[in-house]
Amino acid sequence: MDSLAEEILHHIASEASRIQHQFQRPLTPEQLFLQMKRSDVAEEIEDLCKKVQAINHPADDKPYTSEEIRIRPNALECDVVRFQNNKDKWIAFVGLKDGRPYEIFTGLADDEYGIMLPKSVTHGKIIRALNDDGSHRYDFQFVNTRGFKTTVEGLSYRFDRVFWNYAKLISGVLRYGMPVDQVIKLLTSPQMDNDNINSWINGVCKALKRYVRHEGTLF
């Protein structure tokens, strides 16, 4: 199992290095992820993830097909997870498909630079909505204590772009169906030069650990 996780990490790192060299200029994590999705390594990573999943999943818990990965439902059930990043309070929105993590959005838990929600809000939906210009955004919708639906529009516009893009990279791995414990191992293997990013990764891992089944079989 460890060797498969290391192999996946090796493929991702090698392809990222190749793409960066090819463009001869720094790419944002979002640009890098889009280039990787178009390359041959995407199929290799998917195959490796399926191998890991075959070990961890019951026979009736099948990995997503390429078509299922590509097509995201307009609305996904979502858990709201709060965690600490250094001295700052953060909030994570974990989109769930078939009861397992499919995507994650993170940012500061405040009104000025992120999103502040009542502590009672622990669940809702992430809705993919269409802007007037034809582009897409992601909204968070929950039911308040009085039973009314409340929608927070534009998750992508409320959070720091660096962390937003890193979260998109993590979402890409989750969508390939990699078991959650292997995603956590993948995230904690490399150490970044930025302590703030390392602290954020630790917070994301804490948020994801709740989805590792206690009996040892994983989503």
Point out the least confidently predicted range of 18-22, 72-76, 101-105, 114-118. 18-22
CA torsion through residues 59, 61, 65, 67, sign = positive
Q: Is it the case that residue 182 has pLDDT exceeding 90? A: no
One-letter identity of residue 41: V
Residue-level pLDDT at 124: 97
Asked if the model's pLDDT at residue 45 lies above 80, the reply is no
Q: Give mean pLDDT, residues 59-84.
A: 71
Question: Of 28, 22, 3, which is closest to residue 182 (Cα–Cα)?
Answer: 3
The token duo for 24 is 């001869």
pLDDT of amino acid 9:
58
